[in-house]
Structure 1
Amino acid sequence: MISRITGFLAAIAMAATLAVSPAHAQDQNPAASAPAIDAAAPAADTAAPAPAAAASAPVDNPYSLANIIAHGNVVDQVVLVILALMSMGSWYILVVRVWDTAKLQSEAKDVRASFFKKASLADGIKSLKEESAFRYIATTAVEASEHHEGALTENIDHSSWVTMNVDRAVADVNTKISAGLGFLATVGSTAPFVGLFGTVWGILNALTAIGVAGQASIDKVAGPVGAALIMTAIGLVVAVPAVMGYNWLLNRNKGVMSQVRAFAGDLHGVLMGNRSVAKR
Structure 2
Amino acid sequence: MDSSQAFGLAHLWAQSDTIIRSVAVILLVMSITSWYLILTRALRQLRARRHGDAVENFWRAPDLEAGLKLLAEAAPDSPFEALAQQGAAAAQHIRRHTRNDTLGGKLDADEVITRALRKSIALSTAALESGLTVLASIGSTAPFVGLFGTVWGIYHALVNISVSGMATLDKVAGPVGEALIMTAFGLFVAIPAVLAYNAITRANRLELSELDAFAHDLHAWFSTGARIAAVTPRTAGQHEAALRVARSSPAGSHGAA
Q: Same fold (TM over 0.5)?
A: yes
User: For 1:120, which of 63, 66, 81 is the aligned residue?
Assistant: 63
Q: Could you tell me the percent identity over the aligned residues? A: 39
Cα distance, 1:155 vs structure 2 = 11
User: Match for residue 242 of structure 2?
Assistant: none
**Is 1:188 aligned to 2:139, yes or no?**
yes
Aligned partner of 1:85 in structure 2 is 29
Given candidates 229, 250, 260, the residue that maps to 2:180 is: 229
Work out which of the two has the higher radius of gyration on C-alpha atoms and give 1 or 2.
Answer: 1
Pairwise CA RMSD = 2.2
CA contact (8 A) 1:100 1:177 kept: no
Which residue does the alignment assign to 1:140?
A: 86
Question: Which residue of structure 2 aligns with residue 29 of structure 1?
Answer: none
**Equivalent residues of 1:62, 1:227 under 8 A apart:** no
Deviation at 1:273, TM superposition (A): 1.2
Question: Structure 2 counterpart of 1:198, which letter?
Answer: G
Question: Partner of 1:61: helix, strand, or coil?
Answer: helix
Is 2:145 the partner of 1:202?
no
Query: What residue is the counterpart of 1:95 in the other structure?
Result: 39
Query: Which residue matches 2:252?
Result: none
- CA change 1:269–1:213 in 2 (3 A) is same
Which structure 1 residue ranges, 5 or more long, are not aligned? 1-56, 276-280
- The structural deviation recorded for 1:259 is 1.4
SS of 1:66's equivalent in the other structure is helix
TM-score, normalising length from structure 2?
Answer: 0.77
Q: Which letter does structure 2 place at the counterpart of 1:134?
A: F
Shift of 1:237: 1.0
Residue 173 of structure 1, CA deviation: 1.6
The equivalent residue for 1:174 is 125
Structure 2 gap ranges (5+)? 99-104, 227-257
Structure 1 residue 59: Cα displacement? 6.0
Per-residue deviation, residues 187-208 of structure 1 (Å, max 9, x unmatched): 1110000001111111111111
3-state SS of the aligned residue for 2:50? helix
User: What TM-score does the superposition give when structure 1 sets the normalisation length?
Assistant: 0.71
In 2, Cα distance between the equivalents of 1:60 and 1:73? Answer: 22
Match of 1:240 among 191, 197, 219: 191
Q: Kindly state the Cα deviation for residue 161 of structure 1 after the two structures are TM-superposed.
A: 1.7
The alignment status of 1:252 with 2:230, answered yes or no, reads no
C-alpha contact (below 8 Å) 1:181/1:246 kept by paired residues = yes
User: How many pairs were matched up?
Assistant: 215
Deviations 1:35-74 (A, max 9, x none): xxxxxxxxxxxxxxxxxxxxxx876634422222233222
Counterpart selection for 1:109 from 53, 56, 69: 53
Q: Which residue of 2 aligns with 1:28?
A: none
Residue identity in the other structure for 2:84: A
CA contact under 8 A between 1:79 and 1:194: conserved in structure 2? yes
Q: Secondary structure at the match of 2:225?
A: helix
